[in-house]
A and B are shown apart, each in its own frame.
Chain A
């Protein structure tokens, strides 16, 4: 139950906050999507960590094996990875369209253009 023993959860927390910070702080639409991906990936690691048992192997019945890792979180995360890819693809497609119509992917410049149009 030491801090080092739970290193994977520390990595999850660091990745999660890194991704979240990029999403909030970045002005570039692509960078924000990168942050979003890092944020989502940290959750994948969280799920995979919880399925792992010390000394456990893949859940295939074999002689001499006593401990098996839980395969369910892995299956769940396969689904979540697909969702993450779809989100990223859709986000990038939107950024392409935004670049076509606004000519920029910096949020403040897009905002300035919208303000100008409103006047």
Chain B
């Protein structure tokens, strides 16, 4: 009787390691598979297991507070520590959840039409997907600054490879561009971490946070701060460093785009929060260095310009990619408020935006599965022939605009609350106006799908098969659920925001 119990307890205590090791170990096994179907089944199982682990971890964190796991039994400042608090437990849940839903969608039949790979190499696609997931989870869970860089590169390298297999040949140049800009960003982060190491002699984030305040007046600390800001800005597509994003999202396979749009930039936002709030501390980042006055104008410029550009796109995937740049602006706007409400808004929007963009891109994946294109003119009349797909798209679109009863409304609501607390009503007006811009570009798709006739001379496309519709609708319905019951998403986000801003009353 005792044995299974003790085994279970041992497993529970090693959950933080398993969270990363499981997908990492499964990736080469996937690559060895000769047929894509088997690799897909394994990858899907592993992703859902990782989701289960993330759920258990979040429950543990909520029950007993921050978890610390010493990798390989080496104690914290020397060994690599995995440190899980409310913020990254929430992020792990988001990344594994989206990862699991998207891989369920990415069955071989769905992948083979959108990916330029011979059938015998499909298994590699799933292996790379798992590696990318490993990298994103590693960035989120680690408490070691250099380990963060290594995981950042694991996720980045696999994402360049995943983008490059898109059907369109421009996917290759998009991946190349992403590789150049991503590597410059990662190298800037490496330089920043190096300066911090020179100053403090430690790489452990907890230890760094303790030692940094004594050395922050130095010029080296300021240089580290600048390098980290630009490096992370490149990674999270901060306007005007977002140039890699639209092409990478537009020409990558739909599955990959859905996964990245919902997770990759979000994890970079998490890195920004971790470094500027936990490591440097809000007092230095926003008091001394006044990062908020860098972020605020760039966030606003990004929101306005990317929303405007999105309106004029004819490729719907590209349109949503520009919309992603704008949405990242909303998150940065929340961060630049430097208040618990603002941070709550940013973290909630991070979560909700993953749900809406996931649903939108998966719905587009259904469309391109049937008609082989994501161009606006090709989507005419689809509302009648593919009602479920376009229904999911419309639901995701409403959430993106921020209509009440959808998740998007909740994030806009908290964002506006935070802005009005600071008394910046012109910014509040701007947020409302830019929501109207979102209405315009989503409306263009809805108008084409529901109010235009099917183009002549082509057999009307069928509704997407059930195995694609189920994951799409899972995310679409999540938008409704988290728009009505906000106790979980807002609750954890507020808990995380209070952790990031200790000692401030909300």
Task: Determine whether the beta carbon of A43 is less than 8 Å from that of B191.
Answer: yes
With both beta carbons as reference points, the residue of chain A lying nearest to B158 in the complex is identified as A90
Q: A23-B184, A90-B160, A101-B169 are in contact. Are A83 and B150 (CB under 8 A)?
A: yes
> Shortest beta-carbon distance, B236 to chain A, in Å?
19
- B184 contact from A39, A46, A86, A101, Cβ within 8 A: A39
Task: Determine whether the beta carbon of A97 is less than 8 Å from that of B184.
Answer: no
> Shortest beta-carbon distance, A78 to chain B, in Å?
11
Chain B residues, CB < 8 A from A50: 194, 197-198
B173 at the interface (CB under 8 A from A): yes
Residue of B160, B175, B187, B198 with highest tally of chain A CB at under 10 A: B187
Chain A residues, CB < 8 A from B190: 43, 80
Chain A residues, CB < 8 A from B175: 94
A76 to B180, CA, bound (A): 22
A43 to B149, CA, bound (A): 13
B interface, over-half SS: helix
B411 at the interface (CB under 8 A from A): no
With both beta carbons as reference points, the residue of chain A lying nearest to B170 in the complex is identified as A114
B146 at the interface (CB under 8 A from A): yes
Task: Determine whether the beta carbon of A90 is less than 8 Å from that of B191.
Answer: no
- B180 contact from A36, A73, A86, A102, Cβ within 8 A: A36
Chain A residues, CB < 8 A from B149: 80
A47 at the interface (CB under 8 A from B): yes
Task: Determine whether the beta carbon of B157 is less than 8 Å from that of A73.
Answer: no
Task: Determine whether the beta carbon of A87 is less than 8 Å from that of B153.
Answer: yes
A interface, over-half SS: helix
Task: Determine whether the beta carbon of B176 is less than 8 Å from that of A29.
Answer: yes
B172 at the interface (CB under 8 A from A): yes
A39 to B187, CA, bound (A): 8
Q: A83-B150, A98-B172 are in contact. Are A46 and B194 (CB under 8 A)?
A: yes
Interface set, chain A 80-119, CB cutoff 8 A to B: 80, 83, 86-87, 90-91, 94-95, 97-98, 101-102, 110, 114
Task: Determine whether the beta carbon of B187 is less than 8 Å from that of A94.
Answer: no
Chain B residues, CB < 8 A from A101: 169, 172
A31 to B179, CA, bound (A): 14
Chain B residues, CB < 8 A from A79: 146, 150
Chain B residues, CB < 8 A from A94: 160, 164, 172, 175-176, 179
> Shortest beta-carbon distance, B33 to chain A, in Å?
22
Chain A residues, CB < 8 A from B153: 83, 86-87
- B157 contact from A29, A40, A86, A97, Cβ within 8 A: A86
Q: Which residues on B are within 8 Å of A, measured CB to CB? A: 146, 149-150, 153, 157, 160-161, 164, 169-170, 172-173, 175-176, 179-180, 183-184, 187, 190-191, 194, 197-198
Q: Which residues on A are within 8 Å of B, measured CB to CB? A: 20, 23, 29, 32, 36, 39-40, 43, 46-47, 50, 73, 76, 79-80, 83, 86-87, 90-91, 94-95, 97-98, 101-102, 110, 114
Known contacts A32-B180, A83-B153, A90-B160, then 20 further A-B pairs from the complex at CB < 8 Å, ordered by chain A residue: A20-B184, A23-B184, A29-B176, A36-B183, A50-B197, A73-B194, A76-B146, A80-B149, A83-B157, A86-B153, A87-B153, A87-B157, A94-B160, A94-B164, A94-B172, A94-B175, A94-B179, A95-B176, A98-B172, A101-B169
